[in-house]
């Protein structure tokens, strides 16, 4: 019916922008993946939201085959949950998963700080300061969505500076999941990362003080985790015996 179609990435007059015919598929898939991924990270798609294949294929103008591929990838990145015959939905992290993710971040991101402090260059610092500034501006403008995404990007970029691509990719994934966790357990109005924290962290890195950066990152992550209100989700199968036997 409605023929709304979203160009995940507008390419200016480079070949035909027609979805049916040409167009390099790999890039397009990548763009669609990022598009959905961003929507999830920015909380424009909330945990539990169902992602029907037909709808997505219509929106992005490709067939269900491509959508399925992207959905599978998102599932492996733990951003969507694929239940066997009920399709895809945005993952709703459990309290346990939340703890695991933050413990993992604690271990990996903190462990990376000394190496980052050793390798960081002036250009890197400048880029990170730009990102931090952008994040703060978004926050001030009330655009929580952008701020969340930028914060995750900041942490990811930091990890990439360690030079270890494997760990950087892992951190990036953890940050995406953290964004999901914030969507479920975060208190409104209290965004995960305080901008001042990022600024202070950069100062420690600038001074090459890896140990202090590590300690600060540890506190930073602990603060985020502590700001969560971990309420067990509505118990799907309450233990009636326990409830009524008391």
Q: Any contact of residue 69 with its own copies (CB under 8 A)?
A: yes
Query: How long, in residues, is the chain?
Result: 246
The distance of closest approach from Cβ of residue 196 to its own copies in the complex, given in angstroms and rounded to an integer, is 28
164 touches its own copies by CB under 8 A: yes
**162: buried, middle or exposed (CB in 10 Å: 19+, 13-18, 0-12)?**
buried
Cα–Cα distance, 71 to 7 (Å, whole number): 18
Q: Does residue 73 interact with its own copies by CB under 8 A? A: yes
Residue of the chain from 53, 57, 95, 170 that contacts its own copies (CB under 8 A):
170
Per-residue x/- track, 16-35, DNA (CB under 7 A): -xxxxxx--xx-xx------
Among 39, 49, 95, 108, binds its own copies (CB under 8 A): 108
Stretch that binds DNA, among 14-22, 137-145, 152-160, 193-201 (CB under 7 A): 14-22
Could you tell me the CA-to-CA distances from 98 to 17, 25, 38, 91, 143 in Å, in that order?
41, 35, 20, 12, 24
243 interacts with, out of its own copies, DNA, none, CB within 5 to 8 A per kind: none
φ/ψ region of 141 (left if φ > 0, alpha if ψ in -120 to 50, else beta) reads alpha
Residue 64 touches DNA, criterion: CB under 7 A: yes
**Measured between alpha carbons, how far is 224 from 246 in angstroms, rounded to an integer?**
37
Q: Which of 84, 189, 238, 246 binds its own copies (CB under 8 A)?
A: 84
Residues pairing with 90 in the sheet: 80
> Is 30 one of the binding residues for its own copies (CB under 8 A)?
no
190: left (phi over 0), alpha (psi -120 to 50) or beta: beta
Task: Give the residue, chosen from 39, 49, 82, 169, that forms a contact with DNA under the rule CB under 7 A.
Answer: 82
Q: How far is the CB of 168 from DNA (least distance, A)?
A: 25
Residue with smaller CB distance to its own copies, 93 or 186 = 93
Q: Which of 137, 177, 170, 141 is nearest to 156 (CA)?
A: 170
């Amino acid at each position: 019916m409605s023929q709304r179609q979203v160009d995940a990435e507008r390419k200016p007059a480079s070949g035909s922008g027609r979805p049916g015919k040409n167009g390099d598929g790999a890039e397009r898939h990548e763009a669609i993946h990022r598009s959905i991924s961003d929507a999830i990270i920015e909380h424009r798609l909330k945990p539990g939201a169902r992602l029907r294949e037909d709808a997505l294929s219509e929106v992005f103008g490709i067939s269900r085959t491509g959508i399925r591929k992207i959905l599978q990838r998102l599932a492996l990145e733990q951003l969507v949950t694929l239940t066997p015959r009920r399709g895809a939905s945005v993952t709703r992290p459990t309290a346990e998963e939340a703890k695991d993710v933050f413990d993992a971040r604690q271990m990996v991101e903190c462990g990376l700080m000394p190496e980052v402090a050793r390798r960081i260059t002036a250009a890197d610092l400048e880029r990170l300061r730009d990102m931090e500034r952008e994040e703060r501006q978004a926050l001030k403008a009330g655009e929580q969505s952008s701020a969340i995404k930028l914060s995750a990007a900041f942490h990811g970029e930091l990890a990439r500076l360690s030079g270890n691509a494997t760990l950087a990719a892992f951190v990036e994934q953890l940050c995406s999941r953290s964004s999901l966790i914030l969507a479920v357990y975060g208190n409104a109005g209290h965004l995960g990362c305080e901008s001042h924290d990022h600024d202070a962290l950069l100062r420690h890195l600038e001074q090459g003080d890896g140990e202090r950066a590590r300690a600060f990152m540890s506190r930073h992550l602990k603060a985020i985790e502590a700001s969560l209100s971990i309420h067990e989700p509505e118990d799907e199968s309450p233990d009636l015996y326990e409830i009524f036997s008391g």
